[in-house]
Amino acid sequence: MKLNEVGVIFRFDANFDLSAWTALTLVFTLPDGTQTTRTDPDVTVGTQDQETSKGLFLAFQYVQYTIVTGDLSQAGNWECYLIYDSGPNIHLISDTTMFFVENADC
């Protein structure tokens, strides 16, 4: 991804079953250490297997979010994790993944 891109579909592989979700939250940590969150309905569970550059993401085990204006505001190393809730008794936090946002002139 590149700085200030819009319309890119960001997919996050949770590696656990998301089919009974009641709330989904992606937490992004920007290169400067600030955090921002995106939630459903903007964050959705992927319902079909999806081949990606990181391998096969299985249906109902990944989420997707379409990047909007202002999201990719800093170049550098980003981190992301998913918070998954399913009713009052299930609250899961995924492992963190890292990705790099390039300067637009790269």
pLDDT in tens, the chain (106 residues): 999 999 999 999 998 999 999 999 999 999 999 999 999 999 999 999 999 999 999 999 999 999 999 999 999 999 999 999 998 899 999 999 999 999 987 5
What pairs with residue 6 in β-bridges? none
Can you give the pTM of this predicted structure? 0.92
Q: Where are the domains of the chain?
A: 9-101
**Please, what CATH class does the domain formed by 9-101 belong to?**
mainly beta
Q: How far apart are CA 89 and CA 36, in angstroms?
A: 25
